[in-house]
């Protein structure tokens, strides 16, 4: 009969005694879920499942996983940590103020999937590292009575009876400490150590064992007393359901149209800014970044606010459209990528900007603020890097994507929802950061009228597909115009976005007066002269205006062009240092008498010739500033057109250190198969013998993982096998009983001898 039982009954699995046993018993699908949720465990690839379990219990990895929890999972984890050695869903539901048991089971399953708790026969057990990460004051609760000076804690009924008889001052102290913090400072006349009436305040509480005196003027409330005061609840009002986003509902067509208009505007502004920097690039500050005066000049040119201008400048940098040219006297210069970007359709140009903005760790909204060292953060500077912004930006957009299409949620509601989703990772300035992200999304066209646009939804789902993203925004971009409307008031109205050669011509011959659905360009003497200075003639300008306009050139504009062209070049400058020659003797007389030209030290050497010791470039600039219209002249007497080639910087794409490369399903499957094979090999392999000792194979671990395994062994009072490299490079195999870890060393007993080992010499650790 016994033989029959041995043949039929399956062998019972070994009992789960630790997180390592739990992880080794998981299926491939469960291991895949663990590695997908905690990608840091897979890089570099662990040697086997034991090494994976050891790495998952390190403090850094555990803290990263806990910091990624939302409020519901964090509250459940805190309640489980308070609940004792093992907790069941029913008990945890009571600790969470009577929460739904099904919801609690779902939360615990998620925590188990993350490896923050493991399943014991009696219930779920919170890992020891999680308890360390949560800290001593979990949910505002103090230490257990056994860890505080004084007598052991009484049962709940006794504590309730004592609390009911507490005098008013004592009850006030209990009410103040009940929901945390659990440590309070008492006045000197009520200090526990002072003699006086024993029924007064803190002295009464100490005398009745309800608080513990931990210093002359400090008392601590034991965890058991706090739970009685809280009626068995860990949190006052546990928020297990995410806050709902509500807002103004707009028509989807209006949202997409507004987003398309914003996208078109950002393309035009960047094109104008970078075209200007091609000819007159600003200098790079000695500490890196863009000078404040250059940022203000860009804002004046684009007619945008300083915040908007800083965003545009930063957007050009993160999209690789501008870079430091690397010269001895460095300048911020457009890159060769900008030339390619200019030739692409509007949808693809926008898609590249949107993808760069979504994934960047630069925070344009910080420009102008100060660092912790009180230094001002300049645009394009190194202090613009702020890694948390990427996750916050993605979180804000995910929240907008989770509501009904066309709903525009307020910044306050979005900030509250972000705070619920990541309570341990929100900055102090969360409200300002969320408002900045929403503002930048509106400028870029990711949102329209405050609601996520079709382009914004495609951006979140694009996974880097530029073509698909471009197709989503293309129908909503205003169609570019190939003609403008010239008016008699010396303006030209572009009823849509202007691109290509027409945009370059208008930038050269006119100034933008206003932007919006239609852009107004203003012609003036200065703008016409600017075009003439580049080598255009008056007839060339009029011909360009006829080609650019769908109507005839108005007579006032034609008169303006011909008048400026007639006067242009009547004064010519030649470098001797400088010779000024003009057939207009009266004009030269005016120059000689002009006070503001005194710095040029003009001298007449002939009725039609003046000289100056100042260089031709300075003479040209000062004469133009005073309203004259000179042109440069060569030594042969011909007019020279200055050649100013567009400057370009070499594209230097930096690797983002904060970007984590995630594994796909195939890579995770291959990794898990390797872990299974290594674990099976270690299990079937004959015990190794070295120096007369036998034991399991010891995987190679990093120092952080080795310390985590040693701490677990210390807490459990169990030995561990470790490899130790001595001074001559020989690796010894030790069965070690660790006792304490301090200062990068572990002290314990091996072969009956107390030894202190350096952590960096330990090649690997595996529990016995």
User: pLDDT by residue (tens digit) across 588-610?
Assistant: 888 888 888 888 888 888 888 89
Provide, rounded to the nearest whole percent, the portion of the chain with pLDDT above 70: 90
Q: pLDDT-derived band of residue 440, with 50, 70 and 90 as boundaries?
A: very high
Look at residue 84 in the predicted model and tell me its pLDDT: 77
Instruction: List the one residue out of 46, 37, 11, 18 whose CA is nearest residue 676.
Output: 46
Residue 429 sits at the vertex; the CA angle it makes with 351 and 366, to the nearest 5 degrees, is 50
Q: What is the pTM of this model?
A: 0.76
Residue 555 sits at the vertex; the CA angle it makes with 554 and 560, to the nearest 5 degrees, is 105
At 218, list the tokens.
């400090």
Look at residue 399 in the predicted model and tell me its pLDDT: 93
Check whether 536 has a pLDDT greater than 80. yes
Q: Which of 160-164, 324-328, 564-568, 693-697 has the lowest mean pLDDT?
A: 693-697
Which of residues 658 and 399 earns the better pLDDT score?
399
Residue 422 sits at the vertex; the CA angle it makes with 420 and 425, to the nearest 5 degrees, is 135
Beta-carbon neighbour count of residue 213 at 10 Å?
20
Look at residue 73 in the predicted model and tell me its pLDDT: 94
Q: pLDDT-derived band of residue 13, with 50, 70 and 90 as boundaries?
A: low
**CA-atom Rg of the chain in angstroms:** 37
pLDDT digits (tens, 9 = 90+) for 679-725: 676 655 544 444 444 566 677 777 877 887 888 788 777 788 888 88
Q: pLDDT-derived band of residue 648, with 50, 70 and 90 as boundaries?
A: low
The arithmetic mean of pLDDT across residues 347-368, rounded, is 93
Beta-carbon neighbour count of residue 640 at 10 Å?
16
The arithmetic mean of pLDDT across residues 420-444, rounded, is 93
Check whether 454 has a pLDDT greater than 70. yes
For residues 727 and 706, what is the distance between their CA atoms, to the nearest angstrom?
19
Check whether 9 has a pLDDT greater than 70. no
Instruction: List the one residue out of 119, 107, 96, 116 whose CA is nearest residue 73.
Output: 107
Check whether 675 has a pLDDT greater than 70. yes
Asked if residue 532 lies in contact with residue 538, where contact means CB atoms within 8 angstroms, the answer is yes
Q: pLDDT-derived band of residue 188, with 50, 70 and 90 as boundaries?
A: low
Check whether 537 has a pLDDT greater than 50. yes
Kindly report the average pLDDT of the chain as a whole number: 84
Instruction: List the one residue out of 165, 36, 241, 127 whose CA is nearest residue 662.
Output: 36
Look at residue 135 in the predicted model and tell me its pLDDT: 85
pLDDT digits (tens, 9 = 90+) for 234-249: 898 888 998 888 888 8
Q: Which of 4-18, 70-84, 276-290, 654-668 has the lowest mean pLDDT?
A: 4-18
Instruction: List the one residue out of 500, 453, 502 whose CA is nearest residue 474.
Output: 453
Kindly list the strands in the beta sheet with 753-758, ordered across the sheet, starting from the edge strand earlier in the chain: 753-758, 745-750, 731-742, 720-725, 762-767
Check whether 4 has a pLDDT greater than 60. no
The arithmetic mean of pLDDT across residues 455-469, rounded, is 89
Asked if residue 51 lies in contact with residue 679, where contact means CB atoms within 8 angstroms, the answer is no
DSSP 3-state of 51: helix
pLDDT digits (tens, 9 = 90+) for 87-131: 889 989 999 988 899 999 999 999 999 999 988 888 888 988 898
Look at residue 629 in the predicted model and tell me its pLDDT: 85
For residues 631 and 235, what is the distance between their CA atoms, to the nearest angstrom?
79
For residues 575 and 565, what is the distance between their CA atoms, to the nearest angstrom?
23
Output the DSSP codes for 440-477.
HHHHHTSEETTEE-HHHHHHHH-TT-HHHHHHHHGGGS
For residues 341 and 348, what is the distance between their CA atoms, to the nearest angstrom?
8
Look at residue 686 in the predicted model and tell me its pLDDT: 42
Q: Which of 10-24, 371-385, 436-450, 485-499 has the highest mean pLDDT?
A: 436-450
Check whether 6 has a pLDDT greater than 50. no
Check whether 325 has a pLDDT greater than 80. yes
Check whether 69 has a pLDDT greater than 90. yes
Check whether 203 has a pLDDT greater than 70. yes
Asked if residue 82 lies in contact with residue 234, where contact means CB atoms within 8 angstroms, the answer is yes
Q: Is 139 exposed, middle or buried (0-12, 13-18, 19+ CB in 10 A)?
A: buried
> Can you say how many angstroms the Cα of residue 609 is from the centroid of all Cα atoms in its chain?
63
Look at residue 217 in the predicted model and tell me its pLDDT: 81
The arithmetic mean of pLDDT across residues 636-651, rounded, is 66
Check whether 655 has a pLDDT greater than 50. no
Parallel, antiparallel or unpaired: strands 451-452 and 447-448: antiparallel
Which DSSP category does 649 fall into? B
Look at residue 180 in the predicted model and tell me its pLDDT: 79
Check whether 390 has a pLDDT greater than 80. yes
Look at residue 8 in the predicted model and tell me its pLDDT: 37
Asked if residue 142 lies in contact with residue 226, where contact means CB atoms within 8 angstroms, the answer is yes
The arithmetic mean of pLDDT across residues 291-308, rounded, is 92
Check whether 351 has a pLDDT greater than 50. yes
Q: pLDDT-derived band of residue 317, with 50, 70 and 90 as boundaries?
A: very high
Look at residue 650 in the predicted model and tell me its pLDDT: 54
Q: Please, how many CA atoms are within 13 Å of residue 417, restricted to the half-sphere of its CB?
A: 22
């Amino acid at each position: 009969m016994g033989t029959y039982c041995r043949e039929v009954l399956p062998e019972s699995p070994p009992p789960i005694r630790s997180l390592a046993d739990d992880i080794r018993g998981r299926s491939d699908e469960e291991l895949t879920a663990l590695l997908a949720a905690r990608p840091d465990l897979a890089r570099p690839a662990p040697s086997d499942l034991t090494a994976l379990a050891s790495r998952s219990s390190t403090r850094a990895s555990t803290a990263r996983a806990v910091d990624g929890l939302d409020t519901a999972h964090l509250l459940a984890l805190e309640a489980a940590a308070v609940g004792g050695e093992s907790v069941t869903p029913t008990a945890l539901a009571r600790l969470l103020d009577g929460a739904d048991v099904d919801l609690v089971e779902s939360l615990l399953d998620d925590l188990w999937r993350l490896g923050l708790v493991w399943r014991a026969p009696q219930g779920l057990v919170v890992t020891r590292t999680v308890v360390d990460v949560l800290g001593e004051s979990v949910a505002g609760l103090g230490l257990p009575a056994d860890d505080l000076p004084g007598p052991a804690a009484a049962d709940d009924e006794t504590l309730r009876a004592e609390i009911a008889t507490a005098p008013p001052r004592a009850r006030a102290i209990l009410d103040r400490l009940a929901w945390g913090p659990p440590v309070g400072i008492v006045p000197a006349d009520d200090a526990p150590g002072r003699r006086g009436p024993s029924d007064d305040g803190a002295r009464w509480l100490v005398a009745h064992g309800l608080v513990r005196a931990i210093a002359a003027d400090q008392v601590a409330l034991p965890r058991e007393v706090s739970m009685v005061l809280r009626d068995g609840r860990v949190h006052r009002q546990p928020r297990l359901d995410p806050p709902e986003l509500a807002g103004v509902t707009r028509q989807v067509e209006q949202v997409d149209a507004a987003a398309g208009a914003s996208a078109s505007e950002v393309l035009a502004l960047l094109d104008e800014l970078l075209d200007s920097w091609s000819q007159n690039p600003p200098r790079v500050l000695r500490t890196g970044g863009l000078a404040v005066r250059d940022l203000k000049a860009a804002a004046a040119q684009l007619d945008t606010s300083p915040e908007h201008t800083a965003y545009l400048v930063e957007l050009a940098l993160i999209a690789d459209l501008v870079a430091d040219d690397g010269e001895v006297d460095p300048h911020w210069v457009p890159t060769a990528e900008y030339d390619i970007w200019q030739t692409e359709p509007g949808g693809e140009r926008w898609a590249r900007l949107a993808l760069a903005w979504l994934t960047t760790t630069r925070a344009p909204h910080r420009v102008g603020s100060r660092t912790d060292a009180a230094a001002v953060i300049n645009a394009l500077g190194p202090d613009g890097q702020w890694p948390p912004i990427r996750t916050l930006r993605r979180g804000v957009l995910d929240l907008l994507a989770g509501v009904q299409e066309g709903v525009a949620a307020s910044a306050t509601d979005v900030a509250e929802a972000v705070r619920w989703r990541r309570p341990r990772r929100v900055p102090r300035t969360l409200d300002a950061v969320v408002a900045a992200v929403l503002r930048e999304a509106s400028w870029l066209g990711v949102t329209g009228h405050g609601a996520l646009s079709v382009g914004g939804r495609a951006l979140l789902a694009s996974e880097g597909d530029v073509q698909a993203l471009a197709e989503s925004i293309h129908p909503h971009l205003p169609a570019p115009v190939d003609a403008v409307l010239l008016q008699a008031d010396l303006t030209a109205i572009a009823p849509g976005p202007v691109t290509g050669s027409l945009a370059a011509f208008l930038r050269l011959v006119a100034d933008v007066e206003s932007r919006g659905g239609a852009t107004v360009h203003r012609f003036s003497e200065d703008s016409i002269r600017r075009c003439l200075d580049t080598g255009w003639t008056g007839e060339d300008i009029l011909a360009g205006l006829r080609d650019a306009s769908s109507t005839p050139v108005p007579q006032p504009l034609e008169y303006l062009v011909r008048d400026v062209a007639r006067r242009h070049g009547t004064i010519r400058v030649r470098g001797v240092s400088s010779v000024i020659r003009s057939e207009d003797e009266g004009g030269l007389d005016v120059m000689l008498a002009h006070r503001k030209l005194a710095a040029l030290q003009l001298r007449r050497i002939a009725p039609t010739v003046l000289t100056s010791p100042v260089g031709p470039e300075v003479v040209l600039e000062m004469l133009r500033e005073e309203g004259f219209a000179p042109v440069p002249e060569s030594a042969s007497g011909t007019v020279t057109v200055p050649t100013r080639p567009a400057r370009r910087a070499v594209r230097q794409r930096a690797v983002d250190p904060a970007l984590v490369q995630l594994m796909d399903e195939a890579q995770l499957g291959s990794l898990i198969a390797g872990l299974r094979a290594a674990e099976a090999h270690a299990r079937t392999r004959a015990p190794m013998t070295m120096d007369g000792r036998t034991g399991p194979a010891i995987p190679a671990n990093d120092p952080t993982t080795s310390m985590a395994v040693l701490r677990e062994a210390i807490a459990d009072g169990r030995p561990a096998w470790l490899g130790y490299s001595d001074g001559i490079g020989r690796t010894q195999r030790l069965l070690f009983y660790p006792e304490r870890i301090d200062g990068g060393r572990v002290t314990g007993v091996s072969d009956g001898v107390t030894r202190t080992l350096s952590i960096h010499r330990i090649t690997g650790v595996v529990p016995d």
